[in-house]
Amino acid sequence: MAQSFHPPQRTLMGPGPSDVSPRVLEAMARPTLGHLDPVFVEFMDHLKELLQFAFQTENPLTMPISGPGSVGMETCFVNLVEPGDTVVICVNGVFGGRMKEIVVRSGATAVVVEDDWGRAVDPAKVEQALKDHPEAKILAFVHAETSTGARSDAEALVGLAHAHDCLAIVDAVTSLGGIPVLVDEWTFDAVYSGSQKCLSCTPGLSPVSFSPLAVETIKRRKTPVQSWFMDTNLVMGYWGTNQKRSYHHTAPINALYGLHEALVILEEEGLEAAWARHQKHHLALRAGFEAMGLGLAVPEAERLPQLNVVHVPEGVDEARVRGRLLEDYQLEVGAGLGALAGKVWRIGLMGHSCNLRNVLTCVGAFETVLASEGAAVETGVAEAAALTAFAG
Amino acid sequence: MAQSFHPPQRTLMGPGPSDVSPRVLEAMARPTLGHLDPVFVEFMDHLKELLQFAFQTENPLTMPISGPGSVGMETCFVNLVEPGDTVVICVNGVFGGRMKEIVVRSGATAVVVEDDWGRAVDPAKVEQALKDHPEAKILAFVHAETSTGARSDAEALVGLAHAHDCLAIVDAVTSLGGIPVLVDEWTFDAVYSGSQKCLSCTPGLSPVSFSPLAVETIKRRKTPVQSWFMDTNLVMGYWGTNQKRSYHHTAPINALYGLHEALVILEEEGLEAAWARHQKHHLALRAGFEAMGLGLAVPEAERLPQLNVVHVPEGVDEARVRGRLLEDYQLEVGAGLGALAGKVWRIGLMGHSCNLRNVLTCVGAFETVLASEGAAVETGVAEAAALTAFAG
């Protein structure tokens, strides 16, 4: 006979999910409502307003997709891309590569602009690709590459897209809530995020927002959207940009309670304060690692405060270190991926995980484990360095 | 400033979501793990085993899709259907219609076998359609039509499919846990369900299972699956039918805790006991409504115990009655859809909602509200009739 599952209490400092506030977990355990209950329908309006706040947008088509971030990504592409279209895709990590796969499956042509993993997207290359492909309809890129910790200049890239009459699709999975994501000011056309990064909700939901121009583009499609579930023409009916709500699918009610509470917490703190908190703790974490003698992999101007990519010291088995951190310290950090596998750790400071207690636990645990693994690191200095940086 | 959301405590007796056990809600509030945590990966194995138990299958490809039932439906179709295929689809309610839409968007031809809303699928018509269309590759039907309360003979229909060399895709969204769904014995090739019906978890997950023959068919596809997210070739890597787990998407961790707990509860009760409980309470509910003078809409042999479709008495405004039930009694029941709109109520007795307290609350509330609305119903008799039927 199966038993109830009681997970251990980890400290989540990987690339997401991040630590979830007890307030969010408690909200998820509130009584389930029917998805057509008038009280729930009113709740949906409040949730939409909070998402508009988080995205800094007045886009009416702003809603949480009932699936993880990869469904948010696919929703943006399959609605805006038609067979035969050309899409310029910036690939500087795992998620740009996924965009390409989705575009190809949509029957469109993907023009790939490649940059090194761990570096920002280079606007000069993008401009060249847009010049070389005047037929391009869309530019797509990842604002904050979860796989590498690199931050690209979203405002500049979207500006290039519009200068070349392209729509811009932006992956803000890891950026939203951690660094500025100004959807209206920077004129994104479609943007998606995830619930489990800097919003610190549980995984499984993907906030999205479409500009009025994107909505027009979707309405003028010549071919039907290939996915019934992801067809925003249908989802719009449920999320109420039309006058009357019509049933599309059964929303994940309790997960939405959690997202709502996470956004209430973000609004209470304020976006600017949340961005400043991520920066402040990033500097403390960095100081701790640098005191140990470990450097960060991404050039300073392109670093994400919420995802710190740290070089693995020579001769150290990175997987073994991660295993010990998890087992002995209940601390989860992420491995490097692709070209960075075995060479870096990815250390998240996202949302509710971004606090001094976690910074100190992390640098302390790394210091102890690395020393016992025989790595050439300075010991007894990391916590003090982090505290000094934190105090400013 | 937005406030935390505190939903009212409803009694959910509509077509789903059903009442969620406090055990399930509590499980969802347990600490979030990373989706690659070894403890979580082990948990996934246990969850798979519980799903195999619920579906009565040994299919290795059995897993919860990270989206609502409509994503489970679309996943089954987009993996098995290729452009140019012919699919025979039985339409006797809303969800057969949705199957057709998905098949058409997949570039395939849908041959529709229609039956009246509120009736089972007619095997004779299906046999004829399969004879008329020897090119058909798949037969698809809804086992328990949530929109009408009709139960079809899944075993017979799948037998017809195989006799005509077709694969069978079965919608078991409302049947799983409420009536027998014997995936291996009845040789389904693909089946999907929902978390929020007779499993009484919160909405947002869709258990699916594919037979080895279906998996072979997917592996032999000539064209890629149109959806990246729903491509089971990729999802299989994550849910471990391959040897090594590879990251596909971030699973909705806490929602999966809830589904696991719901399945533990089902295993504790036993499938036969759960089916018998649904039948017993259905008879009690029916006795209560019949004592009032209200009949059930679906012919007895085709009735679902977990979804009771009750005729609206002449001259009664059904929406007004539902509104009063919700407002005065915190009781949610469902409206009729399509051809049955305004003519019936859909009253669920699913999973955790299927108990005597709910039966008595429901017949009592209906009796009171209908009498005060001036309907010609017997009063003061429904609860006693329900109790007598319950006692057997």
The pLDDT value recorded for residue A244 is 66
B3: pLDDT strictly greater than 70: yes
Contact B202 A37 (CB under 8 A): no
> What is the average per-residue pLDDT within B12-37?
97
B79 and B208 part of one domain: yes
Residues of chain B positioned with their CB less than 8 A from the CB of A96: none
Tell me the pLDDT tens digit for each residue of B306-324. 999 999 999 999 999 999 9
Given B216, B239, B268, which residue is the final one in a domain? B268
How close is the nearest chain A Cα to the Cα of B351, in Å? 14
The Cα of B56 is separated from the nearest Cα of chain A by a number of Å equal to 15
Question: What local confidence, expressed as pLDDT, does residue B56 receive?
Answer: 98
Flag whether pLDDT at B242 surpasses 60.
no
* Assigned domain for A10 exists: no
Instruction: Tell me if A297 is assigned to some domain.
Output: yes
Tell me if B14 is assigned to some domain. Answer: no
List chain A residues with CB under 8 Å of B263: 2
Please report whether residue A172 resides in a domain: yes
Q: What percent of chain B has pLDDT over 70?
A: 99
pLDDT tens, position by position, A136-179: 999 999 999 999 999 999 999 999 999 999 999 999 999 999 99
**pLDDT computed for residue A241 by the predictor:** 58
Q: Indicate the helix (H) or strand (E) that contains B315.
A: none
pLDDT of the residue at B24:
98
Q: What is the CATH number of the domain that holds A298?
A: 3.90.1150.10
pLDDT (average), residues B332-355: 96
Interior/surface letters B218-235, b for 16+ CB within 10 angstroms, e for the rest: beeeeeebbbbbbbbebb
Residues A258 and A336 placed together within one structural domain of the fold: no
Q: Are B331 and B13 in contact (CB under 8 A)?
A: yes
To the nearest whole Å, the CA of A375 is away from the closest chain B CA by: 25
The residue from B245, B268, B291 where one domain ends is B268
Determine the Cα–Cα distance for residues A145 and A174; give it in Å rounded to an integer.
7
B299 within 8 A of B149, measured Cβ to Cβ: no
B8 in any annotated domain = no
- Residues A53, A140 within the same domain: yes
User: A222 and A235 in one domain?
Assistant: yes
Residues B166 and B130 in one domain: yes
Same domain, B141 and B193: yes
In a domain, A194, yes or no: yes
CA-closest candidate to residue B326, choices A38, A252, A247, A40: A38
pTM for this predicted structure: 0.98
The answer to whether residues B298 and B164 belong to one domain is: no
Nearest chain B residue (CA) to A24:
B29
- Whether residue A75 is found in the same domain as residue A204: yes
A117: CATH: 3.40.640.10
Domain count, chain A: 2
Looking at A267, A284, A317, which one is the last position of a domain?
A267
DSSP 8-state assignment for residue B339: G
**DSSP 8-state symbol, B98:** H
pLDDT band at B243 (very low <50, low <70, confident <90, very high): low
The verdict on a CB contact (< 8 Å) between B34 and A10 is yes
- Could you tell me if A252 and A337 lie in one domain? no
A29, A49, A205: residue with CB nearest B26? A29
Segment B139-156, tens digit of pLDDT: 999 999 999 999 999 999
pLDDT of residue A243: 55
pLDDT the model gives residue B176: 98
ipTM of the complex: 0.97
Best residue of B21, B53, B228 to probe chain A, by most A CBs closer than 10 Å: B228
Residues A79, B207, B21: CA angle, nearest 5 degrees? 115
- Give me the mean pLDDT over the B47-72 stretch: 97
- In whole angstroms, how far apart are CA A77 and each of A191, B10, B232? 10, 38, 20
Instruction: Spell out the per-residue pLDDT of chain A, length 392, in tens.
Output: 899 999 999 999 999 999 999 999 999 999 999 999 999 999 999 999 999 999 999 999 999 999 999 999 999 999 999 999 999 999 999 999 999 999 999 999 999 999 999 999 999 999 999 999 999 999 999 999 999 999 999 999 999 999 999 999 999 999 999 999 999 999 999 999 999 999 999 999 999 999 999 999 999 999 999 999 999 988 887 886 555 677 889 999 999 999 999 999 999 999 999 999 999 999 999 999 999 999 999 999 999 999 999 999 999 999 999 999 999 999 999 999 988 999 999 999 999 999 999 999 999 999 999 999 999 999 999 999 999 999 98
Strands B109-114 and A206-210, sheet pairing: unpaired
User: How many pairs of residues across A and B have Cβ atoms under 8 Å apart?
Assistant: 261
pLDDT for residue B262 is more than 60: yes
Work out the minimum CA distance from B139 to partner chain A, whole angstroms.
Answer: 19
Q: Which residues of B touch A8 (CB under 8 A)?
A: 31, 33, 39
User: So what's the pLDDT on residue A242?
Assistant: 54
Strands laid side by side in the B344-348 sheet: B307-311, B344-348, B334-335
Both A250 and A130 in a single domain? Answer: yes
Token digits for A108?
């469109």
| Cβ separation B23–A1 shorter than 8 A | no
Distance CA B16, CA B348 (A): 7
> Which range marks the domain in which residue B35 is found?
21-268
For residues A111 and A202, membership in a common domain is answered with yes
Can you spell out the DSSP letters for B240-304? TSSSS----S---HHHHHHHHHHHHHHHHH-HHHHHHHHHHHHHHHHHHHHHHT--BSS-GGGBB
